[in-house]
Chains A and B, each alone.
Chain A
Amino acid sequence: MRHLIIGSGPAGVVAAETLRKADPVADITLLCGEPEPPYSRMAIPYLLKGDIAEAGTHLRKDADHYATQRIQVVHGRARSVDTTGRTVDLGGGQRLPYDRLLIATGSRPSRESIPGIDLPGVRSCWTLEDARAILALAQAKPGIRIVQMGAGFVGCIIMEGLLSRGVDLTILVRSGYMVRRMMNPTASGLLQQWCQAKGVKIFTRTQPAGLSAADGVLQVALADGRVLPADIYLSAVGVDPNLDFLAGSGINLGQGIVVDEHLQSSVPGVYAAGDVAESRDCLTGKRQLNAIQPNAVEQGRIAALNMAGRPTAFKGSFVFNVLTTLGLVSSSFGEWEGQPGGDSAEVLDAARYRYLNLQFQGDRLIGANSVGFTDHVGALRGLIEGRVRLGRWKQRLMEDPTQIMQVYVAGVHSVA
Chain B
Amino acid sequence: MQKSLHIDPNKCTGCLQCEMACSWENYRSFTTAKSRIKVFSFHEAGRFVPYTCTQCDEAWCMTACPVDAIKLDPVTGAKIVLDPTCVGCKVCTIACPFGTINYVAQSGKVQKCDLCDGAPACAKACPTAAITYVDADWTGLEKMRQWAGKTDTNPATV
Contacts and interface: CB of A to CB of B under 8 A. Distances in A.
Interface of A: 10, 14, 40-43, 45-46, 51-52, 56-61, 293-294, 297-298, 301, 320-322, 324, 329, 331, 333, 363, 374-383, 385-393, 405-406, 408-416
> Considering residues A43, A322, A387, which has the most beta carbons from chain B within 10 angstroms of its beta carbon?
A322
B87 A376 contact: no
B79 to A, nearest CB: 13
B97 A392 contact: no
B125 interface: no
Contact of A379 (B64, B99, B157, B158): B99
B63 A382 contact: no
A323 to B, nearest CB: 9
Contacts of B150: 386
Interface in B34-76: 38, 40, 42, 45, 47, 49, 51, 60, 63-64, 66-68
A409 B60 contact: no
B67 A57 contact: yes
Given A61-B85, A298-B63, A412-B147, A386 B42 contact: no
B85 A324 contact: no
Contacts of A412: 49, 51, 143-144, 147-148, 155
Contacts of A363: 158
A387 B151 contact: yes
A320 B94 contact: yes
A322 B95 CA distance: 10
A57 B89 CA distance: 12
8 contacts: A43-B67, A58-B67, A59-B67, A378-B93, A381-B96, A385-B97, A389-B158, A408-B148
B105 A393 contact: no
Contact of B85 (A56, A331, A375, A409): A56
A37 to B, nearest CB: 12
A416 B157 contact: yes
Contact of B91 (A293, A392, A408, A411): A293
A409 B49 contact: yes
Q: Which 8 A-B pairs have the closest CB atoms?
A: A382-B148, A379-B99, A382-B97, A391-B158, A376-B99, A40-B66, A411-B155, A414-B156
The CB with the most chain A CB atoms within 10 A, among B64, B94, B95, B152, is that of B94
B63 A301 contact: yes
B91 A324 contact: no
B136 to A, nearest CB: 18
Given A43-B87, A56-B67, A385-B148, A378 B157 contact: no
Contact of A415 (B45, B89, B153): B45
B32 interface: no
Contacts of A329: 90, 103
| Residue among B89, B154, B156 with the highest chain A CB neighbour number at 10 A | B89
Contact of A377 (B40, B87, B89, B93): B93
B64 to A, nearest CB: 4
Nearest to B9: A413
B21 interface: no
B125 to A, nearest CB: 20
Contacts of A375: 99, 102
B147 A386 contact: yes
A341 to B, nearest CB: 20
Given A60-B68, A381-B97, A416-B156, 10 more contacts: A52-B87, A56-B85, A59-B67, A293-B66, A294-B63, A374-B102, A377-B93, A378-B98, A380-B94, A405-B38
Interface in B108-158: 143-144, 147-158
Contacts of A386: 97, 147-151, 153
A52 B108 CA distance: 13
A57 B69 CA distance: 11
B17 interface: no
A367 to B, nearest CB: 13
A297 B64 contact: yes
Contacts of A294: 60, 63-64, 91, 94-95
Nearest to A324: B90
A247 to B, nearest CB: 31
Nearest to A300: B63
Contacts of B148: 379, 381-383, 385-386, 388, 408, 412
Contacts of A322: 89-91, 93-94
Contacts of B95: 294, 378, 381
A377 B94 contact: yes
A201 to B, nearest CB: 26
A56 B88 CA distance: 12
A386 B148 CA distance: 5
A409 B51 contact: yes
B78 interface: no
A324 B51 CA distance: 27
